[in-house]
Amino acid sequence: MRYPFKHICEYAVLRTLAAFLNALPYRCALAAAWLVARFAFHVLRFRRRETFRRIRLVFGKETPARRVREIAWLSLRNTTFNAVEMMRAPKIDRAWVDRHIPRFAEEIPVVQELVERHKGAVITVPHMGNWDLAGWACACHGIKMFSVATRQRNELIDRWINRQRECGMTILERGHGAMLQIMRRLRTGHVLAILPDVRVPTPDLAIPFLGGEANIGRGMAMFAISAKVPIVQAVFRRVGWTQHAFTRYPTIYPDPALSKEEDALRITRAVLETVDRAIRDMPEQWFWYNKRWILFPVKKG
């Protein structure tokens, strides 16, 4: 198969950068990412105006400029740190998880018990801290994780990203046949990791979120309802440079007394309420730079 020259160049740059960051000690690799983030934020002013606008939209125009800059800067810095950890994914083993997510080993037995009792589960992890760690950390503790991803335009990069993620979980490609695979796995002891704070492009569930209204897909809830498995709510946050904290929120169970439509709305609202509170409590941990801003209105018709 022949690839566009542009895609080959992009892939070559990515692999060169990954090799460089893997050759460095962990903290040195993060320091390199910190320098890139500083240049992007202060010199290139990468998406700063839009990010500042979003932060003020959520927290109010009276939010001090210094606080707005702090939230935006730490969000961008954390994103570059996440990229480093993605590139070093094969080095994330049980010892790494126990060392860098200290309380994870205390919390994960509850999740393991839920999975065993219900023969599967859905775990929701918003774009906070390093959200990819959910799959890697759970897999290191013996939980069979999987997720669904949309194919990237650059097929070479797409395959590389999936290989990195599959250091801890199976990646299914979104599209034809994915639904059947998801349900089969959920009913056989696997756990679906899903990002709940994602805007879908076509009208679905209108959910109050961050002072506005977000258009959220019902898939997260429908998977749990159809497979009769619980939803485990979790949030990761970065502590300093190299440490991570894992917080587990109340588990949500499907309600057989409700119709599927009513239950999907109830579950989605409950999950987004948890995410809303977490973002308001620690806004610098959230990914404010997402091109698909969750509060963009949906184009109808």
How do the pLDDT tens digits run along the chain, 301 residues long? 688 888 888 889 989 999 999 999 999 999 999 999 999 999 999 999 999 999 999 999 999 999 999 999 999 999 999 999 999 998 999 999 999 999 898 889 999 999 999 999 999 999 999 998 888 898 889 899 998 887 878 788 888 888 887 777 888 887 767 888 899 999 999 999 999 999 998 899 999 999 999 999 999 999 999 999 999 999 999 999 999 999 999 999 999 999 999 999 999 999 999 999 999 999 999 999 998 899 998 876 5
Task: Count Cβ atoms within 10 A of the Cβ of residue 150 and give its class: 0-12 exposed, 13-18 middle, 19 or more buried.
Answer: exposed
Q: Is 299 within the bounds of a domain? A: no
Secondary element (H or E) of residue 61: none
Task: Assess contact for 169 and 145: CB atoms under 8 A.
Answer: yes
What region does 84 belong to: left with phi over 0, alpha with psi -120 to 50, or beta?
A: alpha
Q: Is 290 within the bounds of a domain? A: no
Q: Is 294 within the bounds of a domain? A: no
Q: Is 260 within the bounds of a domain? A: yes
pLDDT at residue 135, as a whole number: 86
pLDDT at residue 96, as a whole number: 95
Measured CA to CA, the distance from residue 44 to residue 132 in angstroms comes to 27
pLDDT digits (tens, 9 = 90+) for 164-207: 877 778 888 877 678 888 999 999 999 999 999 999 988 999 99
Task: Assess contact for 85 and 101: CB atoms under 8 A.
Answer: no
pLDDT at residue 179, as a whole number: 83
Q: Is 222 within the bounds of a domain? A: yes
Q: Which domain does 149 fall in, by range?
A: 5-285
Q: Is 18 within the bounds of a domain? A: yes
Q: Is 301 within the bounds of a domain? A: no
Q: Is 206 within the bounds of a domain? A: yes
pLDDT digits (tens, 9 = 90+) for 228-254: 999 999 999 999 999 999 999 999 999
Q: How many domains does the chain have?
A: 1
pTM of the complete model: 0.91
Question: Sheet harboring 231-239: ordered strands across?
Answer: 170-173, 145-149, 191-194, 121-124, 231-239, 243-252
Q: Sign (positive/negative) of CA torsion 40, 75, 148, 185?
A: positive
